[in-house]
Structure 1
Amino acid sequence: MNTTAVQAAAPVSVRTEAPVRVALVIGSNREGRFGPVVADWILSLLKERPDFAVDVIDVAATDLPTALSYDPSAGVRTELAKVTPKLASADAFIVLTPEYNHSYPASLKNVIDWHHAEWQAKPVGFVSYGGISGGLRAVEHLRTVFAELHAVTVRDTVSLTNAGRLFDDSGAHRDPEAPAAAVKSMLDQLAWWAKALRDAKGVRPYGS
C-alpha cells in the first residue's frame, strides 16, 4: 500500500506592528484657557485606540523665549528637554489649537519654531476650537507652517464650534456621536500616514 508523507506546515510568522507614537500638542497658554477640556476629551478617545501610544506636550508648561538662540543657555536647554524628546520620538502629531484673531496662538508658533528636524516627514492632525469658525482659520494657517517644515498635514480635521457650550461641567461632550466620528476619521488618516512614513524612513532616511 502506497503511503504519502505529509509534511507539517511551517509556522506562520505573524508580524506585530508597533503602535503609532503620537504627541498631542496643547497649543494655548492663555489664563482661563479651554484647551485642557478638549485635550482630556481627545485623550479619552485615544485610549480606545490600541494602535496609538500617546505623549502630551502642553505649551503652558514650557517657558521658551521668543528670541531663538543657536547657543541656548542652560535654562533654555532645560525648557527644551521638556518638549524636544517627545517631538523627536513621535511618529505623528495632533495639534490642538484655539483661534485668536483669525489665527493660532503665538505660544504654539514659538514651540514649533524651536524645532525643525523633529517635525520632518511626519503627519500632523488638527483639533481646533473657537467661536463660530471653530478654529478653522487657525488650522489653515498652520498647514502652511507645517508644509515649510516638511510635515504632512492630514485632510480631515476636528473643529469644535462654540466649544464652551459643547461640554458639560464634568468635561463630557454633550452630543458626542458626530464629533467622535470626526475624531475617528482624523485618527485613521493619521495612523495610515504615520505607518507609511515610518516604514519608508526605515528603508531610506528622509532627504537622502
Structure 2
Amino acid sequence: MPKIGIIIGSTRPGRNGEAVARWVHEIAGQRSDADFEVVDLLDYKLPILDEAYPPSMGQYTQPHTHAWAEKIASLDGFIIVTPEYNRSVPGALKNAIDFLYAEWNNKAVGFISYGGTGGTRAVEHLRGIAGELQMADVRAQVALSLFTDFENFSTFKPADIQRDTLNTTLDQVIAWSNALAPLRAN
C-alpha cells in the first residue's frame, strides 16, 4: 500500500494551507488503498538552500537536509497543498523542493491549490518542476477559490463539488504511485 505525503506548501503565519491539508487528510483517511500523512514544511525549518553541491549529487551535509530527505524518501507519492503567490509557487515550497532530487524521482504528485484564481498558476509552475524531478503529475487537481471556498478569505468552507474532485485526484495519485513502484525499487 503506497504512503502518500500531504505537503503543506506554505509557512506563512495564518496560512490557509493547514486547514486545507486537514480536510485532505480527513477525506483521504476514509480510504483503504493508501496511507496518508501530513508533512508540514514548518516542521523542517529549512533555511534558504545551503548545500554546497547540487541536490542531484546526493551529497547532503546539513542535518536539516538529511531529515527532509529521509521524510521525502519514505513516501511513494504526494499531494501538494499550495497557495498562489504573485502568480507562482510560494518561496518556502520551491526552496523545500530544490533541496532534494533523487528522493522525488519516480513518484506521483497531485495538487490542491488555492488563491484568487484557484491557485492554478502556481500549479502550472509546479507541473514543470515535477517533470524536471522525474515525477508523474496527475491531471486532476483541486483549485479552491478564496472567494467561494473560504469565508472572509480565511475560514475554509469548500464547496461540495470539491470533495469529488479531491477523490479523483487521490485516485490518480494512488494509481500512479502503484504504477511507478517498480521504478522506485531499482
TM range (shorter): 0.7 to 0.9
Distance 1:201 1:67, change over 3 A: closer
Q: Distance in 1 between matches of 2:136 and 2:158?
A: 32
Indicate whether 1:128 and 2:135 are aligned.
no
Counterpart selection for 1:181 from 161, 164, 186: 164
Q: Count the aligned residue pairs.
A: 178
Unaligned residue ranges in structure 2 (runs of 5+): 53-58
Residue in 1 aligned with 2:21?
Answer: 39
TM-score, structure 2 as length reference: 0.87
What pairs up with 1:35-74 in 2 under 5 angstroms? 35-70=17-52
1:165 to 2:165 alignment? no
Q: Verify: 1:147 aligned to 2:135, yes or no.
A: no
TM value normalised by structure 1: 0.79
Quote the offset at 1:175 in angstroms: 3.4
Residues 113, 144 of structure 2: 8 Å contact kept: yes
Q: CA deviation at 1:55?
A: 2.5
Aligned mates of 2:76, 2:23 — CA distance in 1? 21
Higher deviation after alignment, 35-44 or 53-62 = 53-62
Amino acid at match of 1:164: F
Which structure has the highest strand share of the two?
2
Q: How does 1:2-151 map to 2 (within 5 A)?
A: 19-70=1-52, 76-77=62-63, 79-131=64-116, 133-151=117-135
1-structure distance, mates of 2:7, 2:136: 16
Q: Which amino acid aligns with 1:165?
A: E
Structure 1 unmatched runs, 5+: 1-18
Shift, 1:164, TM fit = 2.4
Note if contact 1:55-1:86 (Cα within 8 Å) is conserved in structure 2: no
Q: What is the identity percentage for the equivalent residue pairs of Structure 1 and Structure 2?
A: 38
CA distance in 1: counterparts of 2:137 and 2:60, whole angstroms: 30
Q: Is the 8 A contact 2:16 2:154 kept in 1?
A: no
Aligned-CA RMSD value: 2.1
Whether contact under 8 Å (2:76, 2:108) holds in the other structure is yes
Instruction: Tell me which residue corresponds to 1:14.
Output: none
Q: Which amino acid in 2 is paired with 1:195? A: N
Instruction: Please state whether the residue corresponding to 2:35 is helix, strand or coil.
Output: strand
- Distance in 2 between the 1:174 and 1:22 partners? 22
Q: Which structure 1 residue ranges, 4+ long, deviate > 4 Å from structure 2?
A: 166-169
Between the aligned partners of 2:168 and 2:39, the Cα distance in structure 1 is 22
Tell me which amino acid in the other structure corresponds to 2:143.
S
Higher relative contact order (CA 8 A, sep 6+): 2
Deviation at 1:115, TM superposition (A): 0.6
Distance 2:158 2:121 in 1: 25
- Partners of 1:95 and 1:175 in 2: CA distance: 19
Instruction: Name the residue aligned to 1:196.
Output: 179
CA-CA distance at 1:165 after TM superposition: 2.4
Q: Give 1 or 2 for the bigger CA radius of gyration.
A: 1
CA shift for structure 1 position 52: 1.4
